[in-house]
Structure 1
């Protein structure tokens, strides 16, 4: 459905246009500026000439405004020079498709099976099967083949592609993506201002980390806009450089940092990756400040082992080693009620195999056993497994037979965690569910529906519910039309303020040594708590686990989902509700 507030745009792009030579026409609207400034649209417009197709239609996701641009590219020789006619308009996704359903439909059009789609999207075949059935109903298609044909005919295929372009070999969209694989407008100086201070926003805008990446990008953009209205960095405009970071492999991470180097950014903001060591080594090679939120104990170890090499890295969220003591703190709250009900103090862990998700370490187990808790199992959970559905079924069966009093689940991929928790709920598993971080995403509880009720979750860096956090939430919602969630948007906002404040205290943002010194002396109170980097590890600390002073750390917030709302249970003084025992 067309958005009538945003008119259809049409421009001509020369076949030989480059990032250096092409400029948007005078008076180009914000839609075009965002499309050319934060996506590969210029590359697509020129790459069509390298394919056998003369017209290609697709839907382009605009990562910052989170809108959809329906695009039609037509290569024509009718002008004096060969040009691509680019027509586009902002649309709502037709047939009430969701963003994830559009990704699945695009993969169906490429001929991928449900297990293959699940593997590519880091989810389960069961989840994909349900999504595929929903898509067929929405399109009125009688088969997957028919749905794929309709998608191609109507331009209901998504760019950027959700997986590698090789999977789309038979389709025009795949040929276009491969031809456009050269350096893209993500790295281009199309809108670069010579005197601007450039901040790299290295967040995933596609793949399973997309939701978090978009939230962090938006939070950082909001902060940068505020700071530019106050004069930027001593009169110099701050230019955000959003990169669709490939956080999923060592090669992708290195490629991302290569893009940042090519763009000549003076500082980088990023969240998490699937290969921390690759990211830390690549970040160190940039030799500019890199602020990240990986909650990584590996960060601390590397800074201790080689402080000179990793001196430019600053971790703006406490390490995951605090999650275990956080579980112990929650169990202290539960113990009297369990004892009164005659329930044994038993706990079981289901832990992701990805980095930063293992909390049932010897120290945590020692804490729990000293408090009278029995750890009945620690089960690994690989969200990338081709047998994810079978793994979920096996865990559900085991827990149905012998449910612990408390079940701790650490899994960061929202689709995988939702599938797991939905299965436990449907099977009637009676345990109190405790998980970490993932429910901070704005639509997670709504996606789970009634299965979310009563879930307890914690994050070592969450957005506060005080006046600072509430002011941020209102500003974010006014800017983007939806709420910021409870973690990543606030982190992106805070990181931008921290880095730019450090630049304000140096002679020039290109003064790396001065910027690093300013960062190490940081005392910043943001929407996700307080940040200091004076320790050898250059990492924010957790309250109350690593500091007893709430003004010096990020509060390790504890939430419970009650009637669809996220209620903060603590720690004091940041709680706004009390734990609600689940109905048995």
Structure 2
């Protein structure tokens, strides 16, 4: 079929995300960004012309970002042509999700709830839940009204979730039939039916925005585990396959779009790092019952699981809660003081916290009480505004002015910590800098150079410095030519192996309830310590706070950057070094008032 795309008066600039083309009977095409149009849409336009239709509207889901498509009958150089207008829609009309669009499309095609469930590989109960959500969004109370509104608004999804003749009575169905080349999404990416499909794992990877460096670690850890499992024959004679959806860790809309796209790939499980949009992602996964394995160290997410364990049966948090951060900081500083390793000039501890990501709880309230009980004076400073570099620099100047014994910088992002440290070291007070998590991200030490020497940092789950952790780091470097970092690469690696362990114990990896039951029974020693899940909140246990058994719980790891390396200084059973005063605190161990 010829695909001529001549330049001409139609080849002018258009608004971002919009294209317009015309297709003639001979297959020639012209218009705005015609060279970027999916060939399958061109074939649909030819089917439109063959059926002599006037207008059709639908949602095209065959691209990374869904497109709202309308095809109109038009005249071009004296011949009938099909005019295609497409526009990106990051949010579908009436706020329905892509999975709800699938259900509505099959409803319009005349399928019953059990037939829709079979086509989409979900339960009839889940179909009913999706339709209930759609009816609320449409403001109607029955299936017929849903179909009427969907047809009126062009809410039919193409390519079709399955091959079906149920749309043949509609214009859009006749167009699809006459195009003759439009595959359904039931086919593999190559268009070939597979006798044994791979086991698919959907992965939300925050490769856009502030978490991009950590995203590489997450991706590498998961990829390494999958390669190792596949090299041993996979699971139940099936290979594992990771389907990646890129997201921005700060952008809830990108998370919603990504989870909808992953759910359409029929994953047997979904994994995620830390996201501002974790709540809607968790909700979407729970609706379909798919195991959702995330590593947002959030006590709030654990509370939501505990509030409705039946709905969140398959949700598992692969780290202890974030509310361990500040109390563990207080405990560590108190131990330093009582052991004589630190004899501070001040009794103040300052906690600087970010103002975004409302579901984060660093345990400030608990830490404040524990600090007072231990003889400290706690002070809380919020990095206000948009939490950009200026906000963290301003917080550093506030800390300089009060000269506390120590400051905990409460952000997960290296950019925030770097801005704080650079400003603080312009005129440093005798203050220990203790950070949450951010230095675990690969490349952090290199970005600050000598300025990060002596910095303390902690992680609710970090890669141990023992033989298992060291071997993982060596294997990772040999495979990818870069450092894995000290936290999320290990989490992602352990998570895939734990998921594989559960799958080996079930007869069907898509029996999600059975898989969730096996995950609940997890006992696993990984590179980030021991994994066992709390029966109510489904999060891993924190050693010393949730459990004193090191075979079941993960240590809250505390590191200090010494000689350009991350040295594990606490807790004692896993430590490979000891705390030393940072270079800007010459009197830190010299005694109070000296």
TM surpasses 0.5? yes
The 1:323/1:341 distance shift into structure 2, 3 A limit, reads closer
What pairs with 1:408-557 in structure 2 (closer than 5 Å)? 408-557=408-557
Q: Distance in 1 between matches of 2:336 and 2:31?
A: 63
Specify the alignment match of 1:269 in structure 2: 271
Q: Distance in 1 between matches of 2:254 and 2:481?
A: 32
Specify the alignment match of 1:559 in structure 2: 559
Q: CA deviation at 1:577?
A: 0.2
- For residue 330 of structure 2, the aligned residue among 328, 331, 344 is 328
Aligned Cα RMSD in Å? 3.5
Q: Does 1:366 align with 2:365?
A: no
What pairs with 1:324-363 in structure 2 (closer than 5 Å)? 324-336=326-338, 341=343, 343-355=345-357, 357-359=360-362, 361-363=364-366
The 1:361/1:511 distance shift into structure 2, 3 A limit, reads same
Q: Distance in 2 between matches of 1:562 and 1:258?
A: 44
**Worse overlay, 241-250 or 514-523:** 241-250
Q: Given that residues 337 and 344 in structure 2 are in contact (C-alpha distance below 8 angstroms), is that contact kept between their aligned partners in structure 1?
A: no
Gaps of 5+ in 2: 6-28, 40-63, 66-85, 91-156, 160-184, 587-594
Q: Deviations over 1:494-514 (max 9, x none)?
A: 110111111110001111121
Q: Distance in 1 between matches of 2:281 and 2:509?
A: 23
Q: CA deviation at 1:335?
A: 1.2
Specify the alignment match of 2:237 in structure 1: 235
The 1:14/1:570 distance shift into structure 2, 3 A limit, reads farther
Q: Deviations over 1:301-323 (max 9, x none)?
A: 11221111111100110001211
Q: For residue 245 of structure 1, give the secondary structure of its aligned residue in structure 2.
A: strand
The 1:508/1:389 distance shift into structure 2, 3 A limit, reads closer
Q: Distance in 2 between matches of 1:512 and 1:261?
A: 14
Q: Distance in 2 between matches of 1:288 and 1:206?
A: 25
Specify the alignment match of 1:202 in structure 2: 204
TM-score (norm 2): 0.66
Gaps of 5+ in 1: 1-12, 17-48, 56-72, 77-159, 162-176
Q: Distance in 1 between matches of 2:354 and 2:521?
A: 35
Q: Given that residues 203 and 271 in structure 1 are in contact (C-alpha distance below 8 angstroms), is that contact kept between their aligned partners in structure 2?
A: yes
Q: CA deviation at 1:397?
A: 2.9
Larger gyration radius, structure 1 or structure 2: 2
Specify the alignment match of 1:252 in structure 2: 254
Q: Deviations over 1:411-461 (max 9, x none)?
A: 122222211211111232431000111100121011011220111000011
Specify the alignment match of 2:189 in structure 1: 190
Q: CA deviation at 1:15?
A: 9.3
Q: CA deviation at 1:544?
A: 2.0
Q: Given that residues 212 and 488 in structure 1 are in contact (C-alpha distance below 8 angstroms), is that contact kept between their aligned partners in structure 2?
A: yes
What pairs with 1:276-295 in structure 2 (closer than 5 Å)? 276-295=278-297
Aligned residues: 427
Q: Distance in 2 between matches of 1:340 and 1:572?
A: 17
The 1:311/1:341 distance shift into structure 2, 3 A limit, reads closer
Q: CA deviation at 1:391?
A: 2.7
Q: Given that residues 209 and 249 in structure 2 are in contact (C-alpha distance below 8 angstroms), is that contact kept between their aligned partners in structure 1?
A: no
Q: Deviations over 1:241-284 (max 9, x none)?
A: 11113443333222111111111111011111113432322221
Q: Distance in 2 between matches of 1:391 and 1:336?
A: 34
TM-score (norm 1): 0.67
The 1:75/1:522 distance shift into structure 2, 3 A limit, reads closer
The 1:260/1:341 distance shift into structure 2, 3 A limit, reads closer
Specify the alignment match of 1:32 in structure 2: none
Q: Distance in 2 between matches of 1:15 and 1:286?
A: 44
Specify the alignment match of 1:34 in structure 2: none
Q: Given that residues 396 and 427 in structure 1 are in contact (C-alpha distance below 8 angstroms), is that contact kept between their aligned partners in structure 2?
A: no
Q: Distance in 1 between matches of 2:288 and 2:329?
A: 37
Q: CA deviation at 1:300?
A: 1.9
The 1:572/1:446 distance shift into structure 2, 3 A limit, reads same
Q: Distance in 2 between matches of 1:243 and 1:442?
A: 21
Q: Distance in 2 between matches of 1:454 and 1:183?
A: 57
The 1:380/1:229 distance shift into structure 2, 3 A limit, reads same
